[in-house]
Structure 1
Amino acid sequence: MMVGSLARSLAAPSVGSAGTQAQDASAMTAADGVVTEADGAMPVGASAFDEQHPGIVNLDPDLLRALRDAASDAREDGVEFVVNSGWRSPDYQQQLLRDAVDEYGSEEEAARWVATAETSAHVAGSAVDVGSYDATDWLSEHGAGYGLCPIYDNEPWHFELHPEAIDQGCPAKYFDPTEDPRMQQ
């Protein structure tokens, strides 16, 4: 989950008010120093097929397989997936949360956009933020066939793997993470 103009520029796609796809990982600092690609900060234009970037290769293998299958099929429709965020280190996630508290003025409001390191699906490697309107729209329409489901109304770029969706469709979305029982730790 993302927050703020800086954090959104790091990992969220250019969707609605989510900011731009310009990404500047060197501008953020984590508790132990600069957040780098080793922490999961994504380079501009990262592909689901990247074989070396920690933000991609540290994703859950089943999620990564589903993402790559979807990206391959989307490519046949002329749609290129860009991965704006995947796996993140706990330090990176905590920095995003600190930034959200600074921006929104409270932990309660920040929780609408950023999970703790302990509850983040990104830290667990079980979430991916897909970029570009076309890719987000394509995945919203076709993602259930791969088990890839949008989770939050306020983050249309955020997808998680729900294999049962292949047969049953995606579960209902939460308005934002504060409604998600997994975030209640």
Structure 2
Amino acid sequence: MDAVRRTAPGRRARGGRRTAAGAGAAAVLVLAGACAADPPGTGAALRTLAATVGATPSPAGTAADGAIPDGTTLSPFDDGAPAVRNLDKPLLEALRRAAGDARERGVEMTVTSGWRSKAYQQRLLDRAVARYGSVEQARQFVNTPEKSAHVTGRAVDIGPTAADDWLIRNGARYGLCQVYANEMWHFELLTAPGGTCPAQLPDAAG
């Protein structure tokens, strides 16, 4: 993962490790109800990290870095935002096809995090290290700039939960796959349209 947006209570992990390339990172979205006493990996801990990292434009990053400010909703069709515009072209095309089909079925997709600059990714990691006390713990939630698929534009985080559920069920039709068992919102282009998604990694640390 990269930075955690939210968790889905009771969601079952869907696999162990994957074999395809493209290990990536995750999104950032402030959530209420954090509980700092819980250990990493629990729902409350994920929400706590989300609140700590935050999707604010400062000091973590600006729109030019790929940050999405609080209160801003981005569509997969929003070419004005670097977070969307700088996504890898095949990923963006697949995402837009999926979003169009989902909309016809009454499901609206938003991009909660997309492309990120290396500097922005590093700041997110630094904040996660400060929260959890070590790089090893932080990397369960935030990847390094060198390993983050967000930095290369090959990962996108989707919301809300209804859209995540729809894309988990239907994403393989477009080549889009959920990457991490603890991030229902993080998708990458990991198979041919109509193919089979690789087994998930447990988290960004692998």
Give unmatched runs, 5+ long, in structure 1: 180-185
1:25 match: 56
1:124-139 → structure 2 map (5 Å cutoff): 124-139=152-167
Contact in 2 for aligned 1:3/1:99 (Cα 8 Å): no
> Are 2:153 and 1:152 aligned?
no
2:177 aligned with 1:177? no
Shift of 1:3: 4.1
Determine the structure 1 residue equivalent to 2:195: 168
> 1:2 aligned to 2:3?
yes
Tell me, in whole angstroms, the C-alpha distance in 2 between the residues paired with 1:10 and 1:46: 15
Q: Deviations over 1:108-151 (max 9, x none)?
A: 00011111111110000000000111100000000000000000
Deviations 1:53-72 (A, max 9, x none): 00001000000000000000
Q: RCO (CA 8 Å, sep 6+): is it higher in 1 or 2?
A: 2
**Secondary structure class of the residue paired with 1:25:** coil
The match for 2:24 is: none
Task: Calculate the aligned-residue CA RMSD, in Å.
Answer: 2.3
Deviations 1:23-81 (A, max 9, x none): 7523x325xxxx11010012421100001100001000000000000000000010000
TM-score, normalising length: structure 1: 0.83
Aligned partner of 2:63 in structure 1 is 37
1:98 and 2:126 equivalent?
A: yes
CA distance in 2 between partners of 1:99 and 1:48 (Å): 27
Q: Residue in 2 aligned with 1:59? A: 87
2:116 corresponds to which of 88, 94, 109: 88
In terms of mean alpha carbon deviation, does 65-74 or 167-176 score higher?
167-176
Name the counterpart of 2:39. none
Aligned-pair identity in percent equals 50
2:107 aligns with one of 53, 59, 79: 79
Letter in 2 for 1:47: S
Give the number of the structure whose residues are more often helix, by fraction.
Answer: 1
Q: What TM-score comes out, normalization by structure 2 length?
A: 0.75
**Number of residues of Structure 1 aligned to a counterpart in Structure 2:** 167
- Cα distance between partner residues in 1 of 2:81 and 2:96: 14
- The unaligned stretches of length 5 or more in structure 2 are 7-26, 32-42
